Amino acid sequence: METRTISPSAVTTTAHLPQLHLPRNEGMELDLDWVASVQANTSAIERRAATLPGRRSVKKEYQAAWLLKAISLIDLTTLSGDDTEGRVKRLCAKARQPVAPALLSKLGMSGLTVGAVCVYHDMVPAAVRALEGTNIPVAAVSTGFPAGLSPYHLRIQEIRESVAAGAKEIDIVISRRHVLTQNWQALYDEMREMREACGEAHVKAILATGELGTLRNVARASLICMMAGADFIKTSTGKEPINATLPVSLTMIRAIRDYETRTGFKVGYKPAGGISKAKDSLIYLSMMKDELGNRWLQPDLFRFGASSLLGDIERQLEHYATGAYSASWRHAIG
- What confidence score (pLDDT) does residue 13 get? 40
pLDDT band at 8 (very low <50, low <70, confident <90, very high): very low
Report d(CA 162, CA 140) in Å as an integer: 7
Banded model confidence at residue 334, pLDDT cuts 50, 70, 90: low
Largest interatomic CA distance in the chain: 63
pLDDT, one tens digit per residue, over 12-37 is 443 443 445 789 999 999 999 999 99
CA distances from 178 to 42, 115, 183, 188, 326 (A): 22, 31, 5, 9, 47
With residue 130 as reference, give the H or E element that holds it: helix 124-130
Report how far residue 75's alpha carbon sits from residue 253's, in angstroms, rounded to the nearest whole number: 18
Query: How is the beta sheet containing 138-141 ordered, strand by strand?
Result: 268-270, 232-234, 202-206, 169-173, 138-141, 116-119, 74-77, 304-306
Q: Which of 171, 231, 280, 312 is an active site residue?
A: 171
pLDDT band at 5, cuts 50/70/90? Answer: low
| Cβ neighbours of residue 56 closer than 8 Å, sequence gap 6 or more | 282, 286, 290
Q: Are 272 and 302 in contact (CB under 8 A)?
A: no
Between 240 and 268, residue with greater pLDDT: 268
Res 58: pLDDT: 80
**From 168, 234, 280, 312, active-site residue:** 234
The CA–CA distances, whole Å, from 180 to 17, 155, 210, 220, 236 equal 39, 20, 12, 11, 16
User: Of the ranges 74-78, 108-112, 138-142, 278-282, which one carries the lowest mean pLDDT score?
Assistant: 108-112
Q: Give me the pLDDT at residue 16, please.
A: 41
How far from the centroid of its chain's Cα atoms is residue 67's Cα?
15
User: In the annotation, is 171 catalytic?
Assistant: yes
Q: Which residues are CB-neighbours of 53 under 8 A, at least 6 positions away?
A: 279, 283
Sequence-separated (6 or more) residues with CB below 8 Å from residue 181? none
Angle between helices 60-71 and 309-322 (to 10 degrees): 150
| Residue 280 one-letter amino acid | D
The amino acid occupying position 155 is: R
Q: Is residue 230 within 8 Å of residue 205, measured between CB atoms?
A: yes
Cβ atoms of 251 and 222 within 8 Å: the answer is: yes
**Closest Cα to residue 320, out of 53, 1, 15, 61?**
61
Which candidate, 183, 259, 275, places its Cα nearest to that of 226? 259
Over pLDDT 70: what percentage of the chain?
91
Contact 272, 76 (CB under 8 A): no
Catalytic residue among 94, 106, 266, 270, which? Answer: 270
173 contacts 212 by C-beta, under 8 angstroms: no
State the average pLDDT over residues 146-162: 96
Tell me the DSSP string of 153-164.
Answer: HHHHHHHHHHHH
CA 4 to chain centroid, in Å, comes to 30
pTM: 0.92
Domains of the chain: residue spans and CATH? 24-331 (3.20.20.70)
Does residue 208 carry a pLDDT above 90?
yes
Half-sphere exposure in the Cβ direction for 130 (13 Å, CA): 23
End-to-end CA distance of the chain: 29
What is the C-alpha to C-alpha distance for residues 259 and 236, in angstroms, rounded to an integer? 20
